[in-house]
Amino acid sequence: MDIRHRNADGTPRYTNRLSGQTSPYLRQHAHNPVDWHPWGEEAFALARELGRPVHLSIGYAACHWCHVLAAESFEDEQTARLLNERFVNIKVDREERPDVDRIYQIAQQMLTHGPGGWPLTMFLTDERRPFFGGTYFPPEPRHGLPAFRDLLQRVARYYEAHHAELDAQSEALRAAFESIDPPPPPADLVLDAEPLERARAGLERDFDARNGGFGGAPKFPHPSSVDRLLRHWRASAHRDPPDLQALYMAGLTLKRMADGGIHDVLGGGFCRYSVDERWRIPHFEKMLYDNAWLLGVYADAYVASGDELYSAVARDTADWMRREMQSTEGGFYSSLDADAAGHEGSFYVWDRDEVRAALSAEEYAAFAPCYGLDLPANFEGRWHLYVARERESVAAELALNTAQLTQLLEAARAKLLALRERRERPGRDEKILTAWNGLAIAGMARAARALGCAGLEESASRALAFAHGTLWHDGRLAATYGGGQARLNAYLDDYVFLADGILELQQLRLRPAELAFAGELMEVVLRHFEADDGGFFFTSDDHEPLLHRLKTFADEALPAGNAVAARVLLRLGYLLGEGRYLQAAERVVRAGWAPLSRHPHAHATLLNALEELLNPPEIVILRGERSEIDAWRRELERLYAPRRMVLAVPASTLGLPAALEAKPPRGAATAYLCRGSVCDAPFDSFGALATALRG
C-alpha cells in the first residue's frame, strides 16, 4: 500500500469491506481510500437507498494494468473522494466470479463496440444493469482516453439526469443478450464431420508460417488449436498421404513458443502471452491454467513425434507447477504477478554485466549467443532471455560438441536461476480455483503417462485428494478456496474440468472411489446445469440470478465447459455403459451446432467431442496382475492415440462399477477392447491386442 496512506506507526490509515475477503486480489484493495464493497446485494441496496450509480471494477491479482489503475486512481485520495461521494463502489476478482465477469465483459462490448479486457470498468444502475463502461482509464487524458476523474464526474451527472431513461436501455441490452444464445437445433439435424475439415482449413489460413501460432501480436498460445492439429494429423494416419502439414503447424508453434521469451528458459513455465508476433517479449504474468493446458499438449506432442524438446518443456513446466504453484495442502495456486518490486518483468530480465559476473568465461561464451545476450537489449535497456540461436550453430563456433555445450548451458542456467531466486519475487495469488485445478490434474496425468514420471502422478493425486476432501461438501462443489475457507457456488467449468482430470488420472491407476466421484460430479451437472434444449448453462439452477444465464461453446482462455462436458459424458457413458450420459453428450453437440458451424476453428474442444461422437473412442480395459498389466499399459502409451483410453485394473481391485466387474481377468493379463459400446472378445496376449488396435 502507498506510504501516503499509513499512519505514523505504519498501520493502514484506511480499511474497507474487502479486508475479510478470501481473494488476494480483493485484499490488495482493502486499504485503498476507496470505500469498496464486495459483490452482493448489500452494495446494490445501498445504491438504491442513496440514489447513486454503481462503479464496478473487475480485475485479478496478476493483472499489470489492474495494478497501474490502482496506483494511479484507487490510491489517489482526490479520486477516492469522488468515487465515495458519487458512487457505490464494488470490486470483483474475475477469477472467483467468472459469471459476473462474463456478463459485464459482453455488456461492455455491446455498449461501446470496443474490446473487453482487464481492468474492466463498468457503471451500473442499482438494479445491476450496465449503462456505460470501458477498461483502463488514465489519471490524465491520454491516447484518446479521458481522465478517470473527468469520466466519473460525467457519468455521475448523466445518471442523475437520465436515471429513468436507463431502464429502456437496459431492456434493449437484455434483448441483445438473448440474441447471442444459440438457436435450438432443428429436429432433423444430422451431425457430420464437415466442421472438422473446415476447422483444419481455418487453422491453416490463420497460421503464421514464420513464427508459428495463429494471427499476429499480441500472440496467445491457443493450446486448443495445437491440440486440434495433432488430433487431425492422427486421424489422417490411414490416408495416403497423411496430413503432415497439420503436424508441421502444431510442431512449429510448439517449438517457437518453447524457444521464445514467453517460455521461462531458467525456471520453466509459460507467461500469459507475447506482446510481439515472434514470442520474444511476454506479458510476464504466469497463470496456472495456461501452464496446465500447455503441459498436456507438450506431453502429447512428445508422444506423437518423439522430439525431446517437447519432453524437456513438459518436464520443466510440470516442475515449475509443483515447485512454485502447488500448496502444501495439495491444491494448485492461481497465478504469479507480472510485476515485482514495482516494475513489470523485473524478476525475469537481466543486465549483461550481471550475467557475465555470475558465470565462468566458458559458460558465458556459450550462454550469451544461445540466449541473445550478444544482441542489443530487448526490454527497457535490459535483456529478457530467449533461444536466439540453435545449439549446433553455437557449438560449432566454439569448437565444442553439442554435449559439451549443453553441459555448459545447464551449469549456467543453474547459477542464474539460483541468483534470480534471491530477487524480490512476483506476488503469488494463493487462492485455489476448482476449475483450474481440474486442468492441472489433467495436464499432470497426461504428462506423467508421456514421461513415465511417478512424481507427476503423485502431484495430480494430491490435488485431486484436496479437491475431494476440501472443495466437495454435501454433494456440491465450491468454486474457490483461500484463507481456510471453501466458498462460492461452483460453475460448470469446476465440475467438468475436475471430472476430466479424474478420467485422465484413472489412466495411470484406477481407483474406484475416484471414478465414482467423477460420476457424482456429472450427475450434479445433469441435474442443475442442463438446458431444456440441450447443453449446459455456466451457472447452476440455484445460482444467484444475474442479468443473463449464459451458455457458451467456444474456447477462450479456457476450454469451453460445454465441450469438456460432452467429452467427459461420452467417455464415462461408454466406460460405465450409461446411456443417459451418451444422450446428454449428443444434446450438447447439437445445441452448439450453430456456432460450431459458423466458426469451427474457434470451437476446437467441441470438435474433439464431435469427433468422438461420430467415431466412438477406443477403451482398453486391462485386467490381471499389476506388474503385467502396467507393462501393457506403458507399451500402449508409447503411441499417440488421443481417442483411446487405457485403464489397468488389477485383479485385486474391489468396489468396481458393474461395467468393469463384468470384464474379469483370465490370467496374468487380459485385455478388453471396446469401440464405443461394441467390445471384442478378450485378448490374452499383447501381440493380439496390438494387432487388433492397428486394425
Contact call for residues 408 and 367 (beta carbons, < 8 A): yes
- Tell whether omega for the bond before 218 is within 30 degrees of 0, i.e. cis: yes
| pLDDT tens string 594-628 | 999 999 999 999 999 999 999 999 999 999 999 99
Between CA 280 and CA 305 the distance in angstroms is 25
Give the CATH fold of the 3-179 domain: Glutaredoxin (3.40.30)
- Mean pLDDT throughout 526-535? 96
* Res 168: pLDDT: 73
Between CA 430 and CA 23 the distance in angstroms is 8
**pLDDT bucket at 177, cuts 50 / 70 / 90:** confident
Contact call for residues 514 and 502 (beta carbons, < 8 A): yes
**Does 618-694 match 3-179 at the fold level?**
yes
Share above pLDDT 70 across residues of the chain, in percent, rounded to a whole number = 98
Between CA 321 and CA 553 the distance in angstroms is 28
Phi-psi region of 160 (alpha: psi -120 to 50; beta: other; left: phi over 0): alpha
Q: What pairs with residue 59 in β-bridges?
A: 93
**∠517-521-524 over CA atoms, to 5°?**
140
**pLDDT bucket at 8, cuts 50 / 70 / 90:** low
Phi/psi for 404 (5° steps) reads -65, -45
Alpha helix (H) residue ranges in 421-510 = 434-451, 454-466, 492-506
Sheet strands (E) in 62-145: 88-93, 120-124, 130-134
Between CA 442 and CA 558 the distance in angstroms is 13
pLDDT at 1 over 50: no
- Mean pLDDT throughout 320-331? 98
Torsion of CA 38, 333, 329, 485, to 10 degrees: 10
Question: One-letter amino acid identity for 467?
Answer: A
Q: What pairs with residue 87 in β-bridges?
A: none
Counts of helices then strands in the chain (DSSP H, E): 27, 20
* Res 7: pLDDT: 62
Specify the CATH class of 618-694 in words. Answer: alpha beta
Structure-block grid coordinates of residue 508: 495411470
Q: What is the mean pLDDT of the chain?
A: 95
Torsion of CA 625, 629, 634, 636, to 10 degrees: 180
> In terms of DSSP bridges, do strands 476-482 and 432-433 run parallel, antiparallel, or are they unpaired?
antiparallel
| pLDDT tens string 200-218 | 999 999 999 999 999 999 9
DSSP state of 425: P
Structure-block grid coordinates of residue 558: 479456457
pLDDT at 10 over 70: no
| pLDDT tens string 415-444 | 999 999 999 999 999 999 999 999 999 999
**pLDDT bucket at 2, cuts 50 / 70 / 90:** low
pLDDT at 469 over 80: yes
Share above pLDDT 90 across residues of the chain, in percent, rounded to a whole number = 91
Q: What pairs with residue 669 in β-bridges?
A: 624
Q: The domain at 348-422 falls in which architecture?
A: Orthogonal Bundle (1.10)
Question: One-letter amino acid identity for 226?
Answer: V
**pLDDT bucket at 338, cuts 50 / 70 / 90:** very high
Nearest partner of 563 among 555, 571, 572, judged by Cα: 555
- Cut 0.85: pTM above it: yes
- Report the SS3 class of residue 383: strand
Domain boundaries of the chain, sorted by first residue: 3-179, 348-422, 618-694
Between CA 645 and CA 617 the distance in angstroms is 7
